[in-house]
A and B are shown apart, each in its own frame.
Chain A
Amino acid sequence: DAGVTQSPTHLIKTRGQHVTLRCSPISGHKSVSWYQQVLGQGPQFIFQYYEKEERGRGNFPDRFSARQFPNYSSELNVNALLLGDSALYLCASSLEGTVNTGELFFGEGSRLTVL
């Protein structure tokens, strides 16, 4: 079975541009979460979606937005890119809307470089 898949794997943008990152969860998983991992640090929570509704939002500016589609795939959008947005963006899926009862399955991430 396919794991969590993310695209693109690598991309380079310039300041002020917009980026869209995509994620397909494991088949049957209804919850998708997004994390930002800056080099040398642990992942930081951005969003969680469950059954197409936002269930949690981390401490990120409104330039960051996301949505979940009827097939449970998800997009993360970042507008007006800043140099500090350069990071590995991780998508994770799980069966339910909680992490306490099950594990998160992570994709390999999309590495964004902002010049």
Chain B
Amino acid sequence: ETGVTQTPRHLVMGMTNKKSLKCEQHLGHNAMYWYKQSAKKPLELMFVYSLEERVENNSVPSRFSPECPNSSHLFLHLHTLQPEDSALYLCASSQGVGVQMAFFGQGTRLTVV
């Protein structure tokens, strides 16, 4: 069991739906991240939060909207997604931004139909 928990584990949504991914870390870390993992591609960093403030947004389309209400919780709000957005979405945390040991959750397998 990891210290980073993601829900749901699987999600199927239509292109007009709105859904949210949730991440919770129990490690007392100050930084949280969203990554996208697609087949045959390296992990892509989407968003970085440090102490609840967004410190990086890697040119992610606005149909992905992150929210970090506190240092233990991170959300990714999804709306009007495209089929190419289907992927494994991974949440991670670390002690601080630039601290290199990141711990990952199990991921949410998203399918957009």
- The finding on whether chains A and B are genuine partners in a shared complex, rather than unrelated, reads no
CB within 8 Å of B: which residues of A?
none
